[in-house]
Structure 1
Amino acid sequence: MRFPKASEQRGRVLTALGNMRQQLSLVLGAATASRESAETHLARLELEQRVVRVGIAGAAGDEDLADALRHPAMAAVREQLNAVHAAFYREAGTVPGQLRELVERVAPGAASRPPSDWLGRVGTGTLTVPPLWRIGSSTMDDSGPFPVAVPLLDESHLAITSAPKTREAIDSLIEGLLLRVLSSMEPGAVRVHLWDVGQLTAVLPNIYPLSRTSAVSIYDPTRLEDLLDELAGHIRRIHAQTMQAGHHSLRGLRESIGQRTEPWRIAVLYGNNETLPPEELRELKRIAGGALAAGISLIIVDMPTVLGGGVENIRLLDEHRAVTSMIGPDLVVDLDPPLTSAQVSGTASKLAEALIAKQGGPRSFADLLPAELGQENSARELRAPVGFHEGDPVEVVIGDATPHALIGGPSGSGKTNFLYALIGSLAARYPPDELALYLLDFKEGVSFAGLAPGRRDNSWLPHARLIGINVNTDREFGLALLRFLADELRRRSAAAKEHEVTDLAALRQQDPDGHWPRIVAIIDEFQYLFSGRDTVTNQATALLEDIARRGRAQGIHLILASQDIAGIDAFWGKPAVFEQCTLRIAMPKARRVLAETNNAAVAAPKWHAVINHDSGVAHGNQLAHVPDASSKDIFSSLQRKLFELYANDDERPRLFDGAHSPLLEHSPAFGGLMPGGTPKVLLGQSIDVDDAACAVELSRSPGRNFAVIGTASAEALSIMDAAARSLGRQYAPHAVEFLVSCEVDRCAPAVDHLVDGLKSDAHLVTRLTADDLGPRMLQLLEEPADRPRILLLYGVDAALPTLEAKKPGELKSGLDHFRALLKQGPTRGVHTLGWWRSTARLKDTLGFGGPDDIGAWAALDVQGSELSTFAAGQVVHWSPRPGRALFFDRSTHVSPEVMIPFDRPEF
């Protein structure tokens, strides 16, 4: 019974195995079929790839590919390729027409039209630029050629690669592109920069007519860094401008505000396949990366480098054909026929004329002036145009951001003319209660003399408070100006503290009744202040640094002008002044005025200036044509208008002319003398901002005697003459007695003239000889004084032998009496004014009593080392110079001061 059951189980197993074999066969069959299908599909893909590589037309000529395509399994491939081929040629037939339509639409006018349609015409475009510019044409089939255009300006850079003997073709290609661009845009909207490492001047010479305008600039082949610095500075400036306005590019800013703020720039660089130095190459790549956003396009020729930003490539095959990355390497571009030299230069001339006409032609000084005089307010800043660039005014701004200015330019570069343009433009805009000018010229000349009243023209510039000319030997006057400015700075600072404000604008708001004009001090050839290693240099350096640092807040501004600042040793290691001079103005050929790497002034044309408000960094450069402001009758006509509008006699400026000695009669101090009070002796003019006189009070105190020391007879006579005449003015007739002795024969006529003048004023005058001196001095000591007496002694040293002599039986000589009179006389109303021709003779006169009996003195041709004894033992820095004296009054002076003896007219 068990066997049937085992047989049944065996049958079921066999059935299951059979089913399994069947399923396995099915699976293996399906796998084989799938494998065969995959292999067929892979073969088709590989075949398609091979056909794509060589092209459908190329596959027909390849026997292996042709046999493969004929295989029955590849029928689908043949059908697909045939369909693609047919579709391509159906579409390709419409491409040339589409391209022609596209170029016509996006590149209108000169951007794509034949030259006959635009050559010699002036463009009018202002805001938008065509994205494409035609360079030639190409063909795809029998449907005809289509235009080939490349992007430029806001869109892309161009990299051009030459073939042998294609330099002329490249020049023609670039000339055509540039003329298309320049003829599409309004004059001045595009600037072209040209540089060729292998050409000194012949860089696209056919467009040179434009080089007389700002439209074309040509750079030295050895100075690529100049071009790169200019472009980099422009990018930085535009980036700051656009970022502040909330835009990422100049195009975005232009479209936002609806007007052009900056010209486009195209820089053409011929590299001649030379490798650039690493630093220049890095800078060029940095520029290329940010140039398009700043409106700059580069066209580089044969320069083996890869630029940043968008770049289109043009590779010439020969003189007439090229391939471009715009349409791919399979289509050859037939370059447009080159324009003739006459066509290019003629069009460039017309474009130059249009640009000059648009700018209004040459501008004059009158164009700098406002329509109505004196309407501006200086509370915040001073702002005035000083020249023009492309017809637009270029302004100088003096305020908190640019508090002080440095102006440099060699002789003949137009520095004085620029100063007149600046002064006139400021004075025309701001009334005198808004602007006060202090003008100082250290060079030998009269640059600012015309701003003061003169014999031929009695008008003056009402804004001028001080005018100093011919002060090249009077460095003390420059120091006096700095002291005045420092005092004014302290006065304003105290007022600001009192009103709890920090700057001039706030002070004027809090104190509207105060007089707080902005002060501008212009010092021409300021380096003379620091020409010596002495106390003048030390004090001037300290004062200038202090004013430069703190003056901005109180509205006190310095404008320092110089032909050359290279030799100012006083500022080595002390950059405070130059750091504060953020406004830099460089005349043509000026060096070291702008930043060290900024050479813009070297190439600046005549009658121009580089204006820079960014401490001389290149990106702050503004080139300005400065009109003639200093020729005859140009500035004076404005001055007369301002004089009629503002001036009165009380505001006459202080004129200091170092070339002329002042007259005693013209001194305000002399005019104010009158009888009464303690008499004072006027000796000469103080070298100071105020028109003050050096004077010695003849009080009844010990030592109130005065000595003139030196052999310079003209100056000595002038000082003695001024002293006597000023004293005579302070006494009523017969109220004083002058005792006069002259022991220098050649001076006798001058002394006689003085005596006659004193007598004509009804003063008592007694003439004394050398023999009279001793007895008269004894008499003055013994007899009571009924009136003041003044001893005027000329050449005391010549009388010493007579004074030293003693008669038989006399215990004391005349010299002893003189010494006693010097000591006791001032307290008795007897004062001595004497002239000694050497310090040694003066010491001999004083004897062992020391110098205390000479309370004041004026030294002429005496070295400073000889004067220490008479200056309280201090070291005296004094080198004699004609027409000047060193004055010291021990009762009022800390140290001696230089003075100018009054002029004593010849009689």
Structure 2
Amino acid sequence: MGRKVAEQRARVVAALDRLRHQIGLARGAARNARAAAEADLAKRQLEQLIVRAGMERATQDPQLCERMTDPAMAEVLTWLNGVRTQFYAEWADGPNRLRELVAASAPGPAGRPPGEWLGRVGTSAGVTPPELWRIGESTVDGGDAGRTPGTELTFDVAVPLLDESHLAITSAPKTRPAVDALVENLLMRVLSTFEPGAVKVHLWDVGRLTAVLPNFYALSRTSAVTVHDPTRLVDLLDEFAGHIRRIHGYTMQAGYPSLRAMRRATGKRLEPWRIGVLYGNGEELQPEQIRDLKRVASGALAAGISLILVDVPTMLGGSVETISLRNEREAVTSMTGADLVVRLDPPLPAGQVTTAASRIAEALIEKQGGPRSFADLLPTEYGTECSARELRAPVGFYEGEPVDVVIGDATPHALIGGPSGSGKTNFLYALLGSLCARYSPDELALYLLDFKEGVSFAGLAPGRKDASWLPHARLVGVNVNTDREFGLALLRFLADELRRRSAAAKQHEVTNLAELREQDPDGHWPRIVAVIDEFQYLFAERDAVTALATSLLEDIARRGRSQGIHLILASQDIAGIEAFWGKPAVFEQCTLRIAMPKARRVLAETNQAAVAAPRWHAVVNHDSGIAHGNQLAHIPDASSKGVFPALQRQLWERYAGHGSPRLFDGAHAPALEDSAAFTSLSPTERPRALVGQSIDVADTAQAVELTGAPGRNLAVLGTSQKDALSILDSATRSLARQYQPGHVEFVLCCAVERCLTAVTVLGERLVAEGHKADVVPADGLSELVTTLSTELPGMRTSRIVVLYGVDAALPALEHKEPGKQSGLDHLRTLLKQGPGRGLHVLGWWRGVARLKDTLGFGGTDDIGAWAALDVQGNELAPFCAGQVVHWSPRPDRALFFDRTTHSSPEVVIPFRRPEADDE
């Protein structure tokens, strides 16, 4: 027992000895580390003292000399001597390299002496600005640069500004004249570098009631310099904020992070630079002003806006360089550090600045010139632009600079408004001409429609006086004031094209037109622009056309942007469009707003810019009408005689391979012989009787297929003789083209004496084409239908029976001999059983009730297709599956329904009979 206790005690003692040993080692290491740290700290403190005092002065300081005699501290002096030697080796040529850097980064007026440029007008187009702008010079002692001590080495000092940095200037007491001279020097260097108009300066001084920088007075009378109300800083900041939002919108949409990046990529100066000079008084601005100023400063550089703040004690967002004046000639800057004093350049001679400002102002006024012509909108070379990402074209000028309209993903659709005589049509021609001159027909396709008896676009299609056409146009619709269905047809076409493009985009796994064109370079994907002038007439009534058109327009407006389908909606006044009450989708997508003088409700409610716009001008706004997006533009004369046609002929000759557009003229019925639907007919086993021209984007016709199915007969209803003759004429002649001679017999019977001549001419034409055609007198109709009814079971040859004014012969047809069927009974037999035997009736009844009398009870199914003329819609329900028919008679139009193909009746245009003009 005692031995075990002794062993345990021995183990415990051994463990404690090991612990003491380890603790001793750790304490020794800690002492050594502390000693090393204290030695290193002492070296660093000595190093700091020597650096502060300077190497030469340090050797003369008794206390430092005593510390440097310590062997442990000797290496500090050795290391500093090595660093100094290396620095002098690198800095020996430093001042000279700084001069070379400034010369390269500040060429011309940006860095050269005033005598070489002051008074000369700048010529730079302004794609890439100088990186630095000279403000003075600085000097270092030669001893600090490894040279002979006491020798002065001078180098230029310059600061970044445009696209690079903001500038904050802090004055010293009694240095306001020096600050003004500094700002004046910088601004005059900038204004003298670029061509007039490339830079706009905004001046604001919280303490001045008169003009800031009075030597710039001549420029303040132009757009180059604007002096702002000292009590309304908010207006200037709002203006800058508007520019930033607008510029950011279209640069980011185009795929560029800043205006500078876009400018360098495109090689064009799309916007002027803007410099805002804000003079404070050293006191803090109001909290809301500070907030707005910081918000502007954070996004300004990317939008080409630079701020120069004088005595405004505010920390700005973004890159900021500082200049702090010590006295009237000296300052320190963040570019050179606090240890180097900058000698500011002397003030520019006041008289020379005034002269220079006057010359720049005169050059700007001369550049702006008088009203520009339409030719100034056109590029030097046609068809060179690509529309993959957007369409961009100038439509006018403001102070000599072109004002562009941009149609793309960011601004997909446009709304144009202006009262009669305000220049809306002229603007449309200027826009179309500028676009077509820049983009080829493979890049841009136009669909043009003009309501309200308009003929604005008629000249863009081939005409009798001018055979040329606008090769970019695919469709031109004019005089469609009563044919709202044609506007609906255009929207249906655009919706179908949208679905086709969406399907292609899905197949190629892309999301927009630019990507689709990149993935499918062999596909034909132009940007489509549909212009609908006086578009509000499409929604003039509360009916199915308005409902469907509203739905289609909303869908196209919402989804068309990504697939390159764009709408331009123009109107004299959009105040009364009830179809869009509570449905703002269309107007929200129309972010591009064009307001002609005195236009109402096109821009935002609070934006009254159009009220004050002068004649021949327009307010172009890419920001949904918000005031900050306003751009006033003078629109050249594009609609005078011979102006646009001259461009059209050049484009027509250049793009000769592109076909003519489809022309729809609601004031002129097409001739049957000119219809592609008629000329393309040939013999077939399923003949189709053409009824009239379709109101559609494609040049098509409505027709009745005459097969053996029950009811394959056609009824024309109404009292309009001209249209009834036209429909029966086109139906008969089109059928004749689809039968070989001898394979069909035509039987024509006219019960209306005034139509007899037209029927006789039709019969003679059929005979001349090799067909058998009999013209039966009115009093022979009863005998005719009796004979045909009797021969029907054994009939081998197809027969087309054309009856004119059947209701006029009803008394004779109703006559019945005892024990025999009446002629009316035989006619009903033909209507019911004829189609199955190859006999079809094309008949004209001058009233719906008379057709009912002819068919008898339950006979409506025997008329499978009908064309209504001057008949009210409510009378047609029995022949339209009981559905309500919305139809009011319209001149030269018919309502057509074929129950085998139509879900609802459609409006058609009866073909024009040339001989009708002589009747």
Counterpart of 2:100 in structure 1 is none
Q: Is the 8 A contact 2:246 2:622 kept in 1?
A: no
1:754 to 762, 778, 782: 762
Q: Which amino acid aligns with 1:849?
A: G
1:775 to 783, 800, 815: 783
Q: Is the 8 A contact 2:593 2:621 kept in 1?
A: yes
**C-alpha distance in 2, partners of 1:722/1:417?**
40
**C-alpha distance in 2, partners of 1:376/1:156?**
42
Structure 1 segment 273-672 matched on structure 2, within 5 A:
354-359=363-368, 361-648=370-657, 651-672=659-680
Q: Is the 8 A contact 2:237 2:293 kept in 1?
A: no
**C-alpha distance in 2, partners of 1:599/1:227?**
18
Larger displacement relative to structure 2 (772-781 or 657-666): 772-781
Q: Is the 8 A contact 2:550 2:579 kept in 1?
A: yes
Q: Which amino acid aligns with 2:578?
A: D
Two-structure CA RMSD over aligned residues (Å): 5.1
Counterpart of 2:752 in structure 1 is 744
Q: Which amino acid aligns with 1:735?
A: H
Q: Which amino acid aligns with 1:788?
A: S
Q: How far apart are residue 560 of structure 1 and its match?
A: 1.4
Q: Which amino acid aligns with 2:810?
A: L
Q: Deviations over 1:657-711 (max 9, x none)?
A: 1111111000001101122322211111000010001111111221011011011
Q: Deviations over 1:382-403 (max 9, x none)?
A: 2222222222222222222222
Counterpart of 2:29 in structure 1 is none
Q: Is the 8 A contact 2:832 2:862 kept in 1?
A: yes
Counterpart of 2:54 in structure 1 is none
**C-alpha distance in 2, partners of 1:793/1:536?**
34
2:811 to 801, 823, 840: 801
Larger displacement relative to structure 2 (630-639 or 709-718): 630-639
Q: How far apart are residue 362 of structure 1 and its match?
A: 3.1
**C-alpha distance in 1, partners of 2:227/2:836?**
82
Counterpart of 1:863 in structure 2 is 872
- SS of the aligned residue for 2:834 comes to helix
Q: How far apart are residue 193 of structure 1 and its match?
A: 10
Q: Is the 8 A contact 1:407 1:561 kept in 2?
A: yes
Counterpart of 1:834 in structure 2 is 843
- SS of the aligned residue for 2:487 comes to helix
Matched, 1:720 2:728: yes
Distance 1:212 1:741, change over 3 A: farther
- SS of the aligned residue for 1:878 comes to coil
Q: Is the 8 A contact 2:760 2:775 kept in 1?
A: no
> Which ranges of structure 1 fall in alignment gaps of 5 or more residues?
1-108, 110-119, 132-153, 158-176, 196-206, 269-280, 299-306, 311-325, 328-343
Distance 1:227 1:853, change over 3 A: farther
Distance 1:884 1:192, change over 3 A: farther
**C-alpha distance in 2, partners of 1:726/1:259?**
61
Matched, 1:813 2:822: yes
Distance 1:681 1:208, change over 3 A: farther
Counterpart of 1:688 in structure 2 is 696
**C-alpha distance in 1, partners of 2:367/2:288?**
35
Distance 1:245 1:851, change over 3 A: closer
Matched, 1:707 2:720: no
**C-alpha distance in 1, partners of 2:235/2:671?**
56
- SS of the aligned residue for 2:857 comes to helix
1:787 to 782, 794, 797: 797
Q: Deviations over 1:66-117 (max 9, x none)?
A: xxxxxxxxxxxxxxxxxxxxxxxxxxxxxxxxxxxxxxxxxxx9xxxxxxxx
Q: Is the 8 A contact 2:250 2:410 kept in 1?
A: no
TM-score, length basis structure 2: 0.66
The total of aligned residue pairs comes to 706
Q: Is the 8 A contact 1:231 1:287 kept in 2?
A: no
Distance 1:242 1:397, change over 3 A: closer
1:677 to 673, 680, 685: 685
Q: Is the 8 A contact 1:124 1:185 kept in 2?
A: no
**C-alpha distance in 2, partners of 1:212/1:386?**
26
Q: Is the 8 A contact 2:387 2:527 kept in 1?
A: yes
Q: Is the 8 A contact 1:156 1:292 kept in 2?
A: no
Q: How far apart are residue 225 of structure 1 and its match?
A: 11
Q: How far apart are residue 239 of structure 1 and its match?
A: 9.4
Matched, 1:851 2:860: yes
Distance 1:805 1:224, change over 3 A: farther
Q: Deviations over 1:353-403 (max 9, x none)?
A: 543312354322222222222222222222222222222222222222222
Query: Computing the radius of gyration over CA atoms, which structure comes out larger, 1 or 2?
Result: 1
Q: Is the 8 A contact 1:288 1:308 kept in 2?
A: no
Identity %: 68
Q: Is the 8 A contact 1:229 1:618 kept in 2?
A: no
**C-alpha distance in 2, partners of 1:904/1:582?**
47
Q: Deviations over 1:147-191 (max 9, x none)?
A: xxxxxxx9999xxxxxxxxxxxxxxxxxxx99xx99996754787
Larger displacement relative to structure 2 (750-759 or 853-862): 750-759
**C-alpha distance in 2, partners of 1:607/1:468?**
26
Counterpart of 1:5 in structure 2 is none
Counterpart of 2:774 in structure 1 is 766
Q: Deviations over 1:449-487 (max 9, x none)?
A: 111111111111111111111111111011111111111
Q: How far apart are residue 654 of structure 1 and its match?
A: 0.5
Q: How far apart are residue 547 of structure 1 and its match?
A: 1.2
Q: How far apart are residue 214 of structure 1 and its match?
A: 5.2
Counterpart of 1:891 in structure 2 is 900
**C-alpha distance in 2, partners of 1:401/1:764?**
65
Q: Which amino acid aligns with 2:719?
A: T
Q: Deviations over 1:513-555 (max 9, x none)?
A: 2222221111111111111111111111111111112112222
**C-alpha distance in 2, partners of 1:260/1:377?**
17
- SS of the aligned residue for 1:849 comes to coil
- SS of the aligned residue for 1:551 comes to helix
Larger displacement relative to structure 2 (579-588 or 707-716): 579-588
**C-alpha distance in 1, partners of 2:773/2:248?**
83
Q: Deviations over 1:614-662 (max 9, x none)?
A: 222222222222222222222222222221222337x221000111111
Q: Which amino acid aligns with 1:797?
A: D
Q: Which amino acid aligns with 2:732?
A: A
Matched, 1:874 2:883: yes
**C-alpha distance in 2, partners of 1:356/1:891?**
71
**C-alpha distance in 2, partners of 1:657/1:755?**
31
TM-score, length basis structure 1: 0.67
- SS of the aligned residue for 1:733 comes to coil
> Which ranges of structure 2 fall in alignment gaps of 5 or more residues?
1-108, 110-118, 136-165, 170-182, 205-215, 279-285, 316-326, 329-353
**C-alpha distance in 2, partners of 1:451/1:362?**
26
Q: Is the 8 A contact 2:598 2:611 kept in 1?
A: yes
Q: Deviations over 1:254-285 (max 9, x none)?
A: 9xx999964669999xxxxxxxxxxxx99999
**C-alpha distance in 2, partners of 1:292/1:496?**
40
Q: Is the 8 A contact 1:155 1:292 kept in 2?
A: no
